[in-house]
Structure 1
Amino acid sequence: MHPDEQRRPTRRRSGDDDTGRGRSARRGVDVGSLAPAEQEVQAKDLCLRLLTDRARSRAELSKKLTDKGFDGDVIARVLDRLAEVKLVDDAAFAAQWVHSRHTYSGKGKRALAMELRTKGVAPDVAAGALDQIDGDDERARAVELVQRKLRTASLDFEIDGPGGRSSERDRLVRRLVSMLARRGYPQGMSFDVVKAELARAGSEVGDLDGG
């Protein structure tokens, strides 16, 4: 191969690295090379874009900014200013997160507490948000989840009768309890809900057969 035909190495732009760390919102600009005032402008812009997507905790935003290479002092000032105008509010974020995840994803309090912890929400703030779900609310949501699963489960065996296929029933109980456990519901309550709903479903099947 003629030397002129050899492939030339690709020049790496200033601020580029394998992880993207150190770049600002403008592609290829090294955040660390910017003046603090310019860093603050770009850090604020990035936070606003992230908050447009969905509500976020202060810890989530802080991590995003840190990963981009913004200085710690800049991050603190930007997040403090956003907190002053209530764009960053961990209490409001936690309350919204708990309501949404419990209502639409069927998550129990234990799972929600873990999720808030991974979001960096302080334990006392998380506890306040979780207080909006009481025992009756959690049980009612668990009942809805079990009922939904039972609509597609096979109930062609006698669930509570002495002649029923107990092995099938036991497998169904384990499957339903495991489903609730994965969503963060207490084991004792899960068993109670599953047993009650299986008994109700069995009674309805019996009524249909008798009719």
Structure 2
Amino acid sequence: MPGSLGSLEVRLPERGSRSRRARVTLRTPGLGEEALEVPVAVGRRLSAKGAPEPSTREELLEAVGALGRSCARARVADLLGRRDYTSSELMDKLRADGYADDLVCETLSWARDCGLVDDARYGAAFARSKALAGWGRVKVERELERRGVRVDEVEGWPEEFFDDDSERSRALELASRRRLTGKNDYEKIMRFLCGRGFPYGVSAEVAREVAGRSARSLT
């Protein structure tokens, strides 16, 4: 039969190897040897006991495609069972696992359609928790962008999470806990507050107030 497989060999990476892909070697009479690289999870499924044995090259490629979709979706479901992820984070995970970009995009589209992944939902929950933890607006924005979420995707940003009075109050509370010596207090508070992600204007106003109060107490 044209395209019939003579033999099929699956080689998984050695333990400790940094490779995330398995090597599938198929030998077809009259066509010679051909090697494919597949994600390790797919390689394990192909080599598992009781796995269907493709009789032709076409059946093998079809099996690799089906297993790839199944394994990628299972990987996403497993990750999301531990904690929430953004689309960008999941994309990085799947790529690191050796999945091709077209399958990664297909899998993420499936996850979004199922409601498993929602960057706006993630962004709102993240912003709310970090605001309560004392993070400033700028730091939250930077961290969301690092995780692939644009703040304009987050409904109610920034008004529902920050307002000038509450942000100033948080900055003042945090700065007031700092141990000051009277030497470069303003600069130290500015570095601290800006590092926590508070806007420059809020940081400067609070730094002046706290540094001034400390200076008066030392005289």
Q: Same fold (TM over 0.5)?
A: yes
Higher alpha-carbon deviation: 134-143 or 54-63:
134-143
Bigger share in strand:
2
2:113 maps to what in 1?
84
2:127 maps to what in 1?
98
1:37 Cα shift? 1.9
Which residue identity lines up with residue 196 of structure 2 in the other structure? R
Q: Which runs of 5+ in 2 are unaligned?
A: 1-9, 23-38, 47-60
In the alignment, structure 1 residue 188 sits paired with structure 2 residue 216: no
Which residue identity lines up with residue 204 of structure 2 in the other structure? F
1:57 Cα shift? 0.7
**Contact map agreement 1:94 1:129 (CA 8 A) in 2:** no
1:16 Cα shift? 1.9
Which residue identity lines up with residue 143 of structure 2 in the other structure? E
TM-score, normalised to structure 2's length?
Answer: 0.66
**Contact map agreement 2:124 2:155 (CA 8 A) in 1:** no
Q: How does 1:19-30 map to 2 (within 5 A)?
A: 19-22=18-21, 24=39, 26=41, 29=44
Which residue identity lines up with residue 138 of structure 1 in the other structure? E
**Contact map agreement 1:47 1:61 (CA 8 A) in 2:** yes
1:209 maps to what in 2?
none
1:187 Cα shift? 2.5
**Contact map agreement 1:15 1:30 (CA 8 A) in 2:** no
CA separation in 1, counterparts of 2:70 and 2:42? 15
* SS of residue paired to 1:65: helix
Deviation per CA, 1:150-185: give whole Å up to 9, x if none.
xxx25xxxxxxxxxxxxx424222212111011121
1:16 maps to what in 2?
13
2:30 maps to what in 1?
none
In the alignment, structure 1 residue 124 sits paired with structure 2 residue 121: no
Q: How does 1:55-94 map to 2 (within 5 A)?
A: 55-94=84-123
**Two-structure CA RMSD over aligned residues (Å):** 3.0
1:76 Cα shift? 2.3
**Contact map agreement 1:16 1:28 (CA 8 A) in 2:** no
1:99 Cα shift? 1.4
1:123 Cα shift? 5.1
CA separation in 2, counterparts of 1:136 and 1:38? 54
Q: Percent identity?
A: 26
CA separation in 1, counterparts of 2:155 and 2:68? 35
* SS of residue paired to 1:53: coil
Counting matched residue pairs gives 175
Of 125, 149, 174, which aligns to 2:187? 174
1:84 Cα shift? 2.1
Which residue identity lines up with residue 141 of structure 2 in the other structure? A
